[in-house]
């Protein structure tokens, strides 16, 4: 996971975010315990990823080989505690749940909302977009999950420009195409140019219909302000300390999540007792 500079979250949300983090680490620990039990001692060692960052592990630590152990997605889900009402309200207050949201995919009444906080220059964010997200399609198709994306540009000016470009692409219904294109290039170690002209070229390649509008929207003060507001929301108000970060249902999980682990977290959230 790419770490951010230390900035304390707003005091009003800090205790609730701590509760979320504890719950998230609890679900990770339960999931990993399940996976270890299921896979036994005969698993092959997973290959070491070539990207910077760290996958989700208990306490936010990477495993020795940089990967979580794969497991059987059909296993009995981990048992999670009932929710604290304040944590429930905090998380649900971040759900957008709009049919017209250009930065979301899935049904608004899905059983689990998956919020993804990412930076387009983050290696593990690219890994999640390329390796994990495609394997979640069946959950989207059957209404189990909804994914809502949140820009969290923390790695410098290129990240900010890419976030602004993603908003401009979304204004013309092309956010998901932009997201996939940019992260595939990042994953392939062939990052797109984050210059104004370079991003217009990306827009052209993904089929954005009005390139002049794209350019104008990308540089508009409204877009600049929206991206900065998203950064402040993530880093200062929510206290997210690195990318990628996920809130899966009500569990906050820092770092890259393999599809097999995501299966278990989704199952655990679906089985969580009502508040």
User: Three-state secondary structure along 220-254?
Assistant: CHHHHHHHHHHHHHHHHHCCCCEECEEEECCEEEE
DSSP 87-123: HHHHHHHH----TT-TTEES-TT-SEEEEEEE-TT-H
267 contacts 72 by C-beta, under 8 angstroms: no
Three-state DSSP class for residue 268? helix
Task: Record the pTM.
Answer: 0.77
What number of other Cβ atoms are within 10 A of residue 24's Cβ? 23
pLDDT of residue 78: 66
Spell 176-209 as b/e; 16+ CB within 10 A means b: bbbbebbbebbbeeebbebeeebbbebbeebebe
* DSSP bridge pairs for 104: 148
Among candidate residues 268, 265, 253, 246, the one with its CA nearest the CA of residue 114: 246
Domains and CATH numbers, the chain: 85-271 (3.40.30.10)
pLDDT of residue 37: 44
pLDDT of residue 80: 80
pLDDT of residue 202: 99
200 contacts 215 by C-beta, under 8 angstroms: yes
The pair phi, psi for residue 170, each rounded to 5°, is -60, -30
pLDDT tens string for the chain (275 positions)? 665 544 444 545 554 554 555 455 555 555 544 444 444 444 433 333 333 345 554 333 333 333 333 334 444 566 787 888 888 888 888 899 999 999 999 999 999 999 999 999 999 999 999 999 999 999 999 999 999 999 999 999 999 999 999 999 999 999 999 999 999 999 999 999 999 999 999 999 999 999 999 999 999 999 999 999 999 999 998 889 899 999 999 999 999 999 999 999 999 999 988 76
């Amino acid at each position: 996971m790419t770490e951010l500079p230390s900035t304390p979250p707003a005091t009003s949300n800090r205790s609730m975010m701590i509760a979320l983090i504890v719950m998230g680490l609890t679900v990770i620990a339960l999931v990993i315990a399940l996976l270890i039990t299921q896979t036994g001692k005969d698993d092959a060692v997973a290959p070491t990823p070539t990207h910077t960052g760290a996958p989700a592990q208990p306490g936010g630590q990477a495993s020795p080989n940089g990967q979580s152990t794969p497991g059987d997605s059909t296993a009995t889900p981990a048992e999670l505690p009932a929710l604290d009402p304040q944590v429930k309200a905090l998380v649900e207050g971040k759900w957008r749940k709009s049919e017209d949201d250009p930065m979301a995919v899935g049904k608004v009444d899905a059983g689990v909302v998956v919020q993804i906080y990412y930076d387009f220059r983050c290696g593990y964010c690219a890994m999640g977009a390329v390796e994990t997200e495609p394997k979640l399609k069946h959950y989207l198709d059957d209404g189990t999950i909804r994914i809502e994306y949140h820009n969290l540009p923390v790695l410098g000016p290129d990240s900010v420009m890419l976030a602004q470009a993603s908003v401009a692409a979304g204004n013309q219904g092309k956010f998901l195409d932009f997201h996939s294109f940019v992260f595939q290039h990042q994953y392939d170690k062939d990052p797109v140019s984050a210059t104004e002209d370079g991003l217009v070229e990306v827009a052209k390649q993904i089929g954005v219909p009005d390139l002049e509008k794209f350019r104008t929207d990308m540089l508009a003060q409204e877009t600049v302000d929206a991206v900065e507001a998203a950064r402040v929301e993530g880093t200062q108000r929510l206290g997210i300390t690195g990318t990628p970060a996920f809130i899966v249902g009500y569990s906050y999980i820092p770092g890259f999540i393999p599809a097999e682990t995501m299966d278990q977290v989704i199952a655990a959230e679906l089985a969580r007792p009502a508040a």
